[in-house]
Amino acid sequence: MQKFQDYLVEDKNTHLEHLEDEIINNGTKGAKTAIEFLKSIKKMLQGKKGSTVSVKWDGAPAVFCGISPENGKFFVATKSLFNKTPKINYTNSDISSNHGGALADKLKECLKYLPSLGIKGVIQGDLLFTSGDKKTATIDGAKSIVFTPNTITYAVPVVSSGFLGFGANIYKEINNAKVGIIFHTSYSGNTIASLKASFGASVSSLKKNKNVFFDDANYKQTGVAFDDSEEKAFDNIIRMAEGSAYKAGAFIDMLKNDKGPLSLGIQLKTFFNTYIRQGTAITNTSKLANNFEVYFRDKIKKEIDSKKTSAAKQKYEEILNVGLKILRPNKEGLYFAIATYITFQSAKAVLLKKLNTIQSIGSFLRTKNGYKVTNPEGYVAIKGSGAVKLVDRLEFSRANFNMAKDWVKG
């Protein structure tokens, strides 16, 4: 397993990308990166040296806390810590000025209870609950504490033998706690503006306190077996991905170099997301390749029609022409790019099934008919100087797209 200091360092802990999106973001280099991640995660699961994996807890909001490098005072903040004009909260008055509604209430509880942990430096975590969020419910016949920080509902049975890798005292700890948080990122720097993020957060030195339930996000089990047929099937998927990525190489490198919010690469991502929102599996390569050109053309034409001036219309006409000049001579490249994307999803699904073998108890999605068992939001894989997220997008991302977030107000 990698040491903490070997984890990926970034300027800010911003948006992590899905593994399969690497071919759109970074072309042939991204395809190689994705394949290396898939192979490395398999090694980790087998108990060999591979990627480091952390669990993506579905907490919200993201909370930054610790000692300001500028004045030595304890603070709490959201991602607005990194605004051009930072919103940093040292007091309840600061929180009331910077935030409102349920978000302000949550931050005030964090400011009250998190200093007791003795945090050194600055760390980031996903907030699981504050005191008003926990409820009791009977799920699968078991009386449980439940809380829904974002999309997933977490349920801890009154008599619990373990929860997402934690010990048998989990019920007691969560029942007593006023705040629950999972830390996953650490920061270093001499000013707020210069903070650099390192994936991973060491919590072993933090002080235990009954008012705060906390832990790191590390995946806590390896040595998950692949039988011979499973390993052979997975390796075949990887070989298919390598073959289709090679054939897509020139095209995906063009996607990487085509920049802008309406570029082909960005539009290919949003095209895939339309299927995810609808709960439709991305499977038919030929159909998808044909549909994408229609999607791209219609999207840009809609932009053209919405503009009032000829200059504005011309700008989007040029975007359309550039995109079609890439697409039309490269139908085979598009076909194999989509094939690679689908194959990466297939390989990822194999790994997620293995990763979820010890993670399925205690997480649910709320539906109109009650609670539906679900897996965790996903995982973050870290290898060398890169990190990607692995999420069952058909299950979780669709739910995340479509569920309202009550805490967002304010």
Instruction: Quote the pLDDT of residue 367.
Output: 77
Per residue in 148-164, pLDDT (tens digit) is: 999 889 988 886 555 55
- Which range marks the domain in which residue 363 is found? 4-56+223-408
Mean pLDDT of the chain: 87
Looking at 216, 247, 282, the residue that finishes a domain is 216
Looking at 162, 195, 216, the residue that finishes a domain is 216
In this prediction, residues 41-45 reach a mean pLDDT of 89
Per residue in 321-339, pLDDT (tens digit) is: 999 999 999 999 999 999 9
Same domain for 46 and 103? no
* Residues 99/78, Cβ–Cβ less than 8 Å: yes
In this prediction, residues 260-281 reach a mean pLDDT of 90
d(CA 308, CA 151): 40
Q: Residue 365 belongs to what H/E stretch?
A: strand 363-367
Per residue in 343-358, pLDDT (tens digit) is: 999 999 999 998 887 6
In this prediction, residues 52-60 reach a mean pLDDT of 90
Residue 361 binned pLDDT confidence (cut-offs 50, 70, 90): very low
In this prediction, residues 132-146 reach a mean pLDDT of 88
In this prediction, residues 254-273 reach a mean pLDDT of 89
Instruction: Quote the pLDDT of residue 237.
Output: 98
Does residue 204 carry a pLDDT above 90?
Answer: yes
In this prediction, residues 18-26 reach a mean pLDDT of 95
Comparing 388 with 49, the larger pLDDT belongs to 388
The count of other CB atoms within 10 Å of the CB of residue 208 is: 10
Per residue in 62-110, pLDDT (tens digit) is: 999 999 999 999 999 999 999 999 999 999 999 999 999 999 999 999 9
State the total domains in the chain.
2
Same domain for 121 and 270? no
Same domain for 134 and 272? no
Same domain for 269 and 201? no
Same domain for 294 and 394? yes
The answer to which of 96-105, 181-190, 272-281 has the lowest mean pLDDT is 272-281
**pTM of the predicted structure, to 2 decimals:** 0.79
CA distances to 66, 105, 110, 213 from 129, in Å: 19, 11, 10, 9
Laid out side by side, the sheet with 52-56 consists of 52-56, 378-383, 386-390
Same domain for 37 and 68? no
The answer to which of 3-12, 34-43, 283-292, 395-404 has the lowest mean pLDDT is 3-12
Residue 18 structure tokens:
């899905």
Same domain for 52 and 66? no
Instruction: Quote the pLDDT of residue 161.
Output: 53
d(CA 254, CA 329): 12
Instruction: Quote the pLDDT of residue 2.
Output: 32
Same domain for 237 and 184? no
Instruction: Quote the pLDDT of residue 260.
Output: 79
Does residue 6 carry a pLDDT above 50?
Answer: no
Instruction: Quote the pLDDT of residue 1.
Output: 32
Instruction: Quote the pLDDT of residue 398.
Output: 57
The count of other CB atoms within 10 Å of the CB of residue 303 is: 17
Same domain for 277 and 351? yes
Same domain for 262 and 365? yes
Report percent pLDDT > 90 for the chain.
64
Same domain for 130 and 202? yes
In this prediction, residues 166-193 reach a mean pLDDT of 89
Does residue 255 carry a pLDDT above 50?
Answer: yes
Looking at 150, 184, 216, the residue that finishes a domain is 216
Instruction: Quote the pLDDT of residue 118.
Output: 98
Same domain for 41 and 108? no
* Residues 121/140, Cβ–Cβ less than 8 Å: no
